[in-house]
Amino acid sequence: MKTYDFQSSNAFVELFEIPPYRSGALDGLSFAVKDNIDIRDRSTSYGSKPWRETHPPAAYHAVCVEQLLMAGARCVGKTVADELTYSLDGENHFYGTPVNPRAPDRIPGGSSSGSASAVACGLVDFALGTDCGGSIRVPASLCGVYGMRPSLHRISEAGVLPFAPSVSTVGVLARTLPVLRQAMRVLLRSQAQALPPVRNIYLLQDAFEIADPAIRDALSGCVASFDGLPHVTVKSISLREITGLDLSLRSCNEDALRVLQTAEIANALGGWIRASQPEQGPNFRAGYRNVESFDRSAMSEALNLCETLFARVAAFTQPGDVFCYPTVPVLTPKKGVLTGRNLAAVLDYYDRTMAVTSFAGVARLPEITVPLAQVDGLPVGLSLAAGHYQDEFLLDAGLLLWG
């Protein structure tokens, strides 16, 4: 694999050095910060130069940044985010495309594109990102690194620019599973506790069926290895069996997560866009037209559906349960393909990917993606999800299975 430095990776909006405040659990580790998360005295771009130019510098570090500095980690800069974080491809109109070092002709995935690139290039030990519809999990999988979306709102979002509060959360991308666990335990404020062993691994059948055959084949050996685990039951299961509802993963996305995302993005960005009329990249402009034309009367039903799905999944999930499925159901697209000129490719990538990512998003589950396989040299991630607020158990389960 070619070596990339801080400049050639195109992963960073700006470089700087913030030393740790004191010694702690993260001594000797370096991290970067997605540029929708505040750093004191620096303007946050939100992936948009017009946003950066029209907003003042932050008065304080985001709380999650302070936690890491207090635990001994060193901050080295802010990383590129997709424009206003509204994308899963990683190709930014203003800042360019951070390199995917595992596949330089392919996208890094978004919207935590720069964070994934910085980690995959070996420039930092871990990086902060945010995740709504897959913005940590997707780039982690496509760039071949570890990533975690925690239970919704387990990590403080003070100092993080708003996007879709009902489904967005702060999380981490890391070079190794132990580093991911170290950083996450600091951010989660984890306490010493007895954790259950892994008892049941549920293979989410809907997600495997949505995935490309090559991805299913690549992950088959990883999944087969579960059968040799003592005292662990492995079972295929569908979303309908989990929830008792006649609902597919595609409906979980289209009728719940995507509706909430679209409505809340309008609240977060609409006033500024209307007042400032900022320059917009073509991909963002195309996506935001859907926001502007959205019928907000659908929002109440989507909120109720999300609450129902959360409650049904929570009632099903017992201590020791994990769900397993492909993180991203499609192979990494080439750069420049996901544009309005290739609408079919755009729809296929987003519809299938967000169908899979919506499961943990709507059910508020913690999810880890692990780089376990390859197809023609392209990284393929496998995800584990656990019950709501079972983040520490999930981290330990990942170490048990792959540590």
Handedness of CA 297, 299, 302, 307 (dihedral sign): negative
End-to-end CA separation in angstroms for the chain: 23
CA distance 56 to 64: 20
Closest residue by Cα to residue 371 from 335, 328, 400: 328
Q: What is the DSSP string of 34-75?
A: ETTB--BTS---TT-HHHHHTSPPBSS--HHHHHHHHTT-EE
Q: d(Cα 170, Cα 172) in Å, to the nearest integer?
A: 7
Catalytic residue, candidates 30, 45, 112, 135:
135
Indicate which residue of 34, 45, 78, 115 is catalytic. Answer: 34
Residues in contact with 149: Cβ distance below 8 Å, sequence separation at least 6, in sequence order = 131, 136, 137, 169, 171, 360, 361, 366, 367
Tokens of 241: 């069996």
Q: Judge contact between 79 and 117, C-beta under 8 A.
A: yes
- Count of residues for the chain? 403
Q: Does residue 34 have an active-site annotation?
A: yes
Q: Are 327 and 359 within 8 A, CB to CB?
A: no
293 tagged catalytic:
no
The upper half-sphere exposure of residue 33, i.e. CA atoms within 13 Å in the direction of its Cβ, equals: 34
For residue 148, give the amino acid letter: M
> Catalytic residue among 111, 115, 358, 383, which?
111
The verdict on whether 235 is a catalytic residue reads no
The token pair that represents 134 in the structure block: 């897959």
**Catalytic residue IDs:** 34, 111, 135
